[in-house]
Structure 1
Amino acid sequence: MKPGTNILHLTLVVALGGLLFGYDTAVISGATEALQSYFHLTAAELGFAASSALIGCVIGALVSGYTSSRWGRRGALLLAALLFLISAIGSAIPESYWTFVIYRIIGGIGVGIASMVSPMYIAEVSPPRRRGGLVACNQFAIIFGMLVVYFVNYGIALMGSDNWLWSLGWRYMFASEAIPATVFLCLLFTVPETPRWLALTGRDEEAFALLKAINQHESVTGQWQEIKQSLAVREHPGIIASGFWAVLVIGIMLSVLQQVTGINVFLYYAPVILKGFSESTTDIALLQTILVGAVNLSFTVMAIYTVDKFGRRPLMMIGAGLMGVSMLAIGTAAYLDAIGGYLLIFMLLYIAAFALSLGPVTWVLLAEIFPNHIRSKALSIAVFAQWAANFAVSQTFPMMNDKHSLIYQQFNGGFPFWLYGVMGIFTVYFIYRWVPETKGKSLEQLEKLWHSKNKRSEAAVLSH
């Protein structure tokens, strides 16, 4: 089949990588208790079972820069789709804990690749005025994948008793991922490479023709000249030598702050947390988790429609502030032993704020702030930092939340939520102080912005 060039088609197909990102990372939320029972896990082993995929994500993020540069953006996504399929089948059949972990790591490599390449692909084919909303569609797909798997997990949980779920039902949860993985693998053959990657590899005629096909009703001559001008410096030996260390640091910080504000604590451990907030049974906790996913999805849609209208900075600052306040409230309630069902409201407020800000807008910024000639390498480093932070949070939360741990007994379970809340407040300051507004600018115009900032910084150093 000849690859299509309709921007909506390209976005929807590539965003399936985001859907599988969400599906793969959230599928374990409905199986944590089953895994603990089936494999007789300690709190630390349960944390590793949940976060083992993140080891793969870190590996995937590290190799994504090379694979997307060497084999192209589509080639990297094809590899990710294949890894998703292998992981789905392998995670459903193990009889040993470590076999399960190995297949989760394989799926994690796919997630790490897709998490970097999907938004980059969409950013590279999108017109500037629509780029924020289109890249945010990838986050919508991530959340939609999570919501779908919440429904799948809930449906599987209703098929039998808790004992059945803990002995066999959890396998169906992981096997279900094979369906969207197969669809993604097939549909990738209907999309082309990006014009910027084709230009980067010297295939100028193909790149220009594809750029015209994607922007059928607009002149692309000026945009093409900007692309060629930006790629004229592609022989620079590295990111630091290119003078873009400052934007790399900002990208790394955005990635880390998205994670250390605690989002994946709720996404991975929502049923466990909700059962702790009230006397919920397993199926009720899973049903409440679906509510969490619905709120996440709804406010992500709002972000898609507002990120190109109001800009990146306002959404990020408002959202991070609400996230910090919500986490501090949850931590205080836990410390005072005022736990009750009403805390679901704070949890939903936190999720809504994340979905409006750090969820989609962080990926928009990461996909657009890096210059063309270093984008794959710089984005790979930033996403590596994101998955490393994700792993640290996911691994440490079960230990901090273990009722037998010293830190839990000292703070009555409130400490981790306080920690994430403080990080949310710090994120507001970081965005205000260091992150520029990028809406409405082409990728090449943003590159010129960083060039001008570098020159001003160099001039300031020389003046002293």
Structure 2
Amino acid sequence: MASNAGDASNGAGEKAEKVPPRKVSDYSNVSQVENKASKENPLLDEEQRRRLEASAKLENPLGDLTPEQLGQRGVEFCAKHGLTDEADIRAFRLGAMIAGDMNRYDTIDELTPREREVLDRELTHKWSNPKMLYAVIVICSLCAAVQGMDETVVNGAQGLYKEQFGIGDPESQRDSWLLGLVNAAPYICCAFAGCWLTEPMNKVFGRRGTVFVSCFISAAACFWQGFTNTWWHMFIARFALGFGIGPKSATTPIFAAECSPPKLRGALVMQWQMWTAFGIMLGYVMDLAFFEVPDLSGIIGLNWRLMMGSALIPAVLVCAMVYFTPESPRWYLTKNRHVDAYKSISQLRFEKVQAARDLFYMDTLLQIEKETMNLGKSKIKEFLTIRRNRNAMLASEIVMFMQQFSGVNAIAYYSTEIFIDSGFSTQSALVASLGFGIVNFLFALPAFYTIDTFGRRNLLLTTFPLMSIFLFFTGFSFWIPEGTTAHIGCIALGIYMFGVVYSPGEGPVPFTYSAEAYPLYIRPIGMSLATATTWLFNSVISLTWPAMVQAWTAQGAFSWYAAWNIIGFVLVLLFLPETKEKTLEELDAVFDVPIRSLVRYGVAQFFYFWGHYILRRDIAPPKAPSAAHAVEYSEHQFGKEKTHDGTNRV
């Protein structure tokens, strides 16, 4: 959700255009505007009206207050929460005025030149922030690297320990299922236990504490994996790893977002996916680095033990560093520790007036959230009974499910085995896997630009067909005669090209989309469901891939996921509305529409793209449906071409 504070900007490095200050009279009808969406549609029932009004209030909670009233509220905030220092009272009085006036601070004469400079730089240099904020970013990036390494060090190690554990017979169905079960263990734990511990752990330990505990568990489990001697012992150790992966994957993006200023929140959500891709690449590096380590002092399999244990290094670094950074100010507010919240956010901003503005606005939103949470029935029921929530859940579950059934983690977890089966030596296969990791990381970088320019929906509609093509290409390449350069080269090319189109599409979109699709009052439950979904189907892929290759051959296994990418394209086309650059109010209208309207729009958009880009006809694009006006579409509408004078003819 966009914050009022600091919303207007023309981008980093450019001077933002000054916005004219509002007069006191401009505030008189703001509360009426908040309810406009609900009043314009007489078909809404009372409960729907109340929810739309609550969403509007969350979007602009201070809009109906004059600057004088806002300043008084800032002073009252200090008195209520024991902030008695004159400098702090001044900061909250001015900060409240800025927060409520859409960050228009030009007419506030009391601001010092330094405060004005800092507020200006928020708009023109959004990456200029205190070192402590970047320390939080480093912690979150290391957490993501831990995640990636946890996922991929097993890629190289499994080829070594499966023989030692007696589950390496390529002709045995039992062995293929056991190998998949060992690999899937942490993700099974995440889906059924780890992710659902996120909320209680956050309540008890806070954001920092949850990060510390989950990384400690990850480090201990990685160390444990290096001392296992049977497949079932490795399964138990890896299952325990899931108690670290689950809470960490849900908490770290929240921790980063709650500490960051409004202009950086989107970029910091993206950091999770990018540095997870970096950790995936680092896992491949460790596999290659320890491959030739010989057994010493009677230790059997020292190389794979070092591979599995290497993932503890970034986890230990996080544990050592996390308590040197401040706790999330928002978490302190939920515990009514307002003084601690102010101390925390003061370390994350240059000036007290910035800290006071953001904390005052954060507390205001929190109070409205508490009111919103009392709007009727249980939150679990509302996923299915409220159309706006039901559509958001459907869209979120589609992208989370398809992130796994796109087939990416079959490659991430088994690429070394795939390359060995295609004719690579073991060491060459590890090098080829590293190449996939590098591609996955480098092509995640453009998503910083593309996700907010091309949009989530368009990225997915473009990349799903390409992912399908490259998976079919990879699978069919196994029919090229073995031992030839073409056989090896085409398989590697198909896998790398799949990584190229996955990384800016289904890589970053699911977590970003899920985080913004749900209304604020049920977002924590929605994100728990979303992360549990992705880990559940992650475990399914990890478990079934070896048996699938054995039963269907590589051609059939790759074609299976290629077909799912076609299904993913259809699901996105019919059920996924665009959320790019939408405010909370607009998202209510985007999601609160009948499913049939979304489906008709998807079909209409398909005919538009076919007619406009393939047949090169000059036709008007369809208009996306919204709650305010459900639009009906038909093929006939797209048989009309625009003439030069702007009229339509058949």
Instruction: Compute the TM-score of the two structures, normalised by the length of structure 1.
Output: 0.86
* Equivalent position amino acid for 2:301 in 1: S
Match 1:319 to one of 450, 463, 471: 463
Once the two structures are superposed, the pairs formed by residues 152-167 of structure 1 within 5 Å of their partners are 152-160=286-294, 167=301
Whether 1:50 and 2:183 are equivalent positions in the alignment is yes
Distance 1:165 1:150 in 2: 23
Distance 1:7 1:364, change over 3 A: farther
Match 1:98 to one of 221, 229, 232: 232
Partner of 2:425: 281
Q: Per-residue deviation at 1:14?
A: 1.7
Q: Is the 8 A contact 2:277 2:440 kept in 1?
A: yes
Partner of 1:378: 526
Q: Residue 21 of structure 1: SS of its match in structure 2?
A: helix
Which is worse superposed, 225-234 or 331-340? Answer: 331-340
* Equivalent position amino acid for 2:472 in 1: L
Match 2:575 to one of 425, 429, 434: 434
* Equivalent position amino acid for 2:230 in 1: S
Q: Per-residue deviation at 1:196?
A: 3.7
Superposed CA deviations along residues 380-435 of structure 1, whole A, max 9, x for unmatched, are 11111111101111111100112xx3x33xxxx31221121122223233334333
Q: Residue 229 of structure 1: SS of its match in structure 2?
A: helix
Q: Is the 8 A contact 2:221 2:241 kept in 1?
A: yes
Distance 1:343 1:456, change over 3 A: closer
Match 1:76 to one of 210, 213, 228: 210
Greater helix fraction, Structure 1 or Structure 2: 1
Match 1:346 to one of 490, 494, 503: 494
Q: Per-residue deviation at 1:245?
A: 3.0
Q: Is the 8 A contact 1:130 1:308 kept in 2?
A: no
Distance 1:454 1:264, change over 3 A: closer
Superposed CA deviations along residues 34-64 of structure 1, whole A, max 9, x for unmatched, are 1210001011111112112222222211222
Distance 1:205 1:248, change over 3 A: farther
Distance 1:280 1:114 in 2: 36
Q: Per-residue deviation at 1:211?
A: 5.5
Distance 1:374 1:75, change over 3 A: farther
Distance 1:417 1:282 in 2: 21
Percent of pairs identical after alignment? 24
Distance 1:454 1:258, change over 3 A: closer
Match 1:308 to one of 423, 441, 452: 452
Q: Per-residue deviation at 1:286?
A: 0.3
Once the two structures are superposed, the pairs formed by residues 8-23 of structure 1 within 5 Å of their partners are 8-23=134-149
* Equivalent position amino acid for 1:375 in 2: R
Partner of 2:408: 263
Q: Residue 71 of structure 1: SS of its match in structure 2?
A: helix
Partner of 1:358: 506
Distance 1:211 1:313 in 2: 35
Distance 1:436 1:211, change over 3 A: farther
* Equivalent position amino acid for 1:66 in 2: P
Distance 1:213 1:311, change over 3 A: farther
Q: Per-residue deviation at 1:66?
A: 2.9
Match 1:401 to one of 549, 559, 572: 549
Q: Is the 8 A contact 1:252 1:383 kept in 2?
A: no
Q: Residue 113 of structure 1: SS of its match in structure 2?
A: helix
Q: Per-residue deviation at 1:333?
A: 3.0
Match 1:65 to one of 199, 203, 208: 199
Distance 1:378 1:69, change over 3 A: farther
Distance 2:141 2:219 in 1: 17
Whether 1:333 and 2:466 are equivalent positions in the alignment is no
Whether 1:419 and 2:560 are equivalent positions in the alignment is yes
Partner of 1:194: 328
Q: Is the 8 A contact 1:137 1:304 kept in 2?
A: no
* Equivalent position amino acid for 1:276 in 2: D
Distance 1:353 1:65, change over 3 A: farther
Q: Per-residue deviation at 1:266?
A: 0.6
Distance 1:437 1:68 in 2: 31
* Equivalent position amino acid for 2:242 in 1: G
* Equivalent position amino acid for 1:148 in 2: L
Partner of 2:278: 144
Q: Residue 300 of structure 1: SS of its match in structure 2?
A: coil
Whether 1:252 and 2:390 are equivalent positions in the alignment is no
Q: Is the 8 A contact 1:265 1:393 kept in 2?
A: yes
Distance 1:166 1:143 in 2: 31
Distance 1:130 1:361 in 2: 17
* Equivalent position amino acid for 1:258 in 2: Q
Q: Residue 358 of structure 1: SS of its match in structure 2?
A: coil
Once the two structures are superposed, the pairs formed by residues 107-146 of structure 1 within 5 Å of their partners are 107-146=241-280
Superposed CA deviations along residues 349-407 of structure 1, whole A, max 9, x for unmatched, are 111111111112222222333333322222111111111101111111100112xx3x3
Partner of 1:38: 164
* Equivalent position amino acid for 2:567 in 1: F
Distance 1:308 1:456, change over 3 A: closer
Structure of greater Rg? 2
Distance 1:308 1:129 in 2: 13
Distance 2:236 2:566 in 1: 37
Distance 1:432 1:72, change over 3 A: farther
* Equivalent position amino acid for 1:177 in 2: A
Q: Is the 8 A contact 2:273 2:508 kept in 1?
A: yes
Distance 1:135 1:186, change over 3 A: same
Q: Is the 8 A contact 1:157 1:165 kept in 2?
A: no
> Structure 2 regions of 5+ residues with no counterpart?
1-129, 168-174, 596-626, 629-650
Distance 2:516 2:260 in 1: 10
Q: Residue 108 of structure 1: SS of its match in structure 2?
A: helix
Which is worse superposed, 31-40 or 219-228? Answer: 219-228
Distance 1:361 1:322 in 2: 16
Distance 1:366 1:206 in 2: 30
Q: Is the 8 A contact 2:281 2:438 kept in 1?
A: yes
Distance 1:210 1:431, change over 3 A: farther
Q: Residue 192 of structure 1: SS of its match in structure 2?
A: coil
Superposed CA deviations along residues 111-157 of structure 1, whole A, max 9, x for unmatched, are 12212222232333344543332211111211111211211110111
Which is worse superposed, 146-155 or 427-436? Answer: 427-436
Match 2:435 to one of 261, 269, 291: 291
Distance 1:311 1:453, change over 3 A: closer
Partner of 1:233: 372
Distance 1:248 1:71, change over 3 A: farther
Q: Per-residue deviation at 1:182?
A: 0.8
Q: Residue 186 of structure 2: SS of its match in structure 1?
A: helix
Distance 1:322 1:204, change over 3 A: farther
Q: Is the 8 A contact 2:577 2:590 kept in 1?
A: no
